[in-house]
Amino acid sequence: MTATIFKTKLSWLKFDVREFADWTGLPEPDVQAMREGTRAIPQIVERLVDVLCRNQRLEAMRAKRARR
């Protein structure tokens, strides 16, 4: 995952660096470095962000179906 994709997914999930660091238990400077591309994004963090995005999309689809 590139830094641009990581940054985009965090914003789509409405997480800023501090919130994501608090939520995951990662140090804030490390999350900021991942977001800027100066530190590699660990695979476990990539998977976590992907799962969160997938869950967000599923919830949006369910809400849309419920409104019909």
Residue 29 to residue 59: CA distance in whole angstroms: 31
The pLDDT-based confidence of 66 (bands split at 50, 70, 90) is: confident
**Taking residues 46-66, what's their average pLDDT?**
91
Closest Cα partner for 30 from 6, 54, 53? 6
**Taking residues 19-40, what's their average pLDDT?**
94
pLDDT given for residue 36 in this prediction: 94
The pLDDT-based confidence of 22 (bands split at 50, 70, 90) is: very high
User: Phi/psi of residue 57, each to 5°?
Assistant: -65, -40
Per-domain residue ranges of the chain: 3-67
Report the percent of the chain where pLDDT is more than 90. 82
